[in-house]
Amino acid sequence: MAKIMFIPVSIISGLIAGLVGRKLFDFIWGVFDDQEPPNAGDREIDVRKLAGALIAQGAIFAVTRGIVDHWARRSFYNATGAWPGEERPDEA
């Protein structure tokens, strides 16, 4: 039941993570380059610069999403007493 009740929290936290991740990426990119990050749809771009931007963006979004998701689960647990997910990772 906790997993079902957590769905709206997960959606909202995902949107927040996306916004925070975007702002963080823009800030970090601005430290390294004065120009906007390259877009895959641009005709004339440096592929190395595009690859670097995509790697940085992916890493930043993954870390941000993971941290925000864990924070949301902890907050949900503190509010309801039910953990919406696995207690600990499966042992291999």
Each residue of 23-51: pLDDT tens digit? Answer: 999 999 999 889 999 999 988 999 999 99
59/89: higher pLDDT:
59
What's the rounded mean pLDDT across residues 2-31?
A: 94
Q: What mean pLDDT value characterizes the chain?
A: 92
Q: Flag the least confident range among 41-45, 62-66, 74-78.
A: 41-45
- First-last CA distance in the chain: 27
State the pLDDT at residue 92.
67
